[in-house]
Structure 1
Amino acid sequence: MNNYPAKLKLRLDWSEMDLFGHINNVSYFKYIQSSRVNYWEMIGLTKSHSETGIGPMLASSSCRFFKPLFYPGNVLVQASVTNIGNTSFKMLHQILDINLVIAAEAEDVIVMYNFKEEEKAVIPEDIRKKIMELEGITT
């Protein structure tokens, strides 16, 4: 089982329900996005992007749905980086219901991108170090 160092509590909104009375699958991706950005903020990636022009670009995102969510309620979304490459890293997210039961799991592939040069970029060393610190990875 993964350690998830980044946790974010979110409120389910009435407007996220669909015709069938449960939270629509599109909302799960909104929760995953919030989790992703929360992680990026924790490691200073959003700040680094604004200063250097090198930042994250979502290459792929997939989600496996295990159980429905219902309004009213809250979810806990937790994230972990599971693999760090030269120019990209993978993130794993879990969406937990009010009873901390897994409602969905998602995986993202994030590519570092130089928005000024319009090309992939190497993960900045300070960002790599912050990921490793947050994940408790020692070299």
Structure 2
Amino acid sequence: MPKPVKYKHKFTQQVVWGEMDAFGHVNNVTYVRYFESARADYFTKEGLWDSPSKPVKGGPVLTHLDMDYRKQVVFPATLEITLEVDSISSRAFTVVCSMWNENEECVLTGNAAFVWFDFELQKPSALPDHFKTKFGRDHLV
């Protein structure tokens, strides 16, 4: 696994008791929800969609998710989730993420791939100009 990195966008996630499993640690699928919450916060704050709660013509649709679990997390805990857009192409982009415990230990690294999807036409479409402008040529693949 590559060395973990702290990314630009930060999101705080409280671990709740009900997220623990029979083995006494946070269940692995819970981290998927944590990543989802952090991404929704990121997309909203960066203006990448009008609103996550109302239908829009197009938006990001998850096509792939990859996570490396590095350390157990138990209740009570507060995680710092950091993420940013890693690369973009004409219709797709990836977001990288790292999660950190209170001791500054990386507990998870992950990445998610998205395609921009036209909900009216029901097919992938070009990334909007504001998205390309926001993340610029530095991230193009």
Task: Give me the TM-score of the superposition, normalised by structure 1.
Answer: 0.88
Segments of structure 2 that go 5 or more residues without pairing to the other structure are none
Letter in 2 for 1:54: G
Percent identity for Structure 1 against Structure 2 = 24
Letter in 1 for 2:61: M
Q: 1:54: which partner in 2? A: 58
Is 2:103 the counterpart of 1:91?
A: no
Letter in 1 for 2:34: Y
Task: Give me the TM-score of the superposition, normalised by structure 2.
Answer: 0.87
Q: 1:27: which partner in 2? A: 30
Corresponding residue to 1:65 among 65, 69, 76: 69
Letter in 2 for 1:18: D
Q: State the Cα distance separating 1:131 from its structure 2 match.
A: 3.0
Corresponding residue to 1:129 among 128, 133, 137: 133
Residues 1:51 and 1:34: Cα distance change in structure 2 (over 3 Å) = closer
Segments of structure 1 that go 5 or more residues without pairing to the other structure are none
RMSD (Å), alpha carbons: 2.3
4+ residue segments displaced more than 3 Å: 48-52
Corresponding residue to 2:43 among 22, 34, 40: 40
Q: State the Cα distance separating 1:2 from its structure 2 match.
A: 5.0
Q: 2:106: which partner in 1? A: 102
Corresponding residue to 1:11 among 14, 26, 33: 14
